[in-house]
Amino acid sequence: MNVEVEIKIEIDNFDEVKAKVAAIGKLIKSIHQVDDYFIPSHRDFLLRNRTRPSGYAYGQTPIK
């Protein structure tokens, strides 16, 4: 079973974070994707259209 976890945080030193992640894990796969975000004027959510080489993945995220 594949599980995708996405965490969004602001960091001050990306190179330091990359080095720490590389020290405790390894890259097993890299993918290219493009996200398009839409906010309908009559709704309180964000619609994401994610395009990957293998197809599409759709997501809906509440706006806070």
Distance, CA of 6 to CA of 59 (rounded, Å): 12
Residue 4 within a domain: no
Residue 52 within a domain: yes
At 54 the pLDDT is 67
Residue 50 within a domain: yes
User: How many folded domains does the chain comprise?
Assistant: 1
Residue 5 within a domain: no
pLDDT digits (tens, 9 = 90+) for 6-51: 788 899 999 999 899 999 998 888 878 888 888 878 877 777 787 8
At 23 the pLDDT is 95
Higher pLDDT pick, 61 / 2: 2
Residue 9 within a domain: no
Distance, CA of 49 to CA of 47 (rounded, Å): 7
pLDDT digits (tens, 9 = 90+) for 49-60: 878 776 555 555
Residues 6+ apart with CB under 8 A from 37: 46, 47, 48, 49
Range of the domain at 40: 14-62
Q: Predicted confidence band at 64 (pLDDT cuts at 50, 70, 90)? A: very low
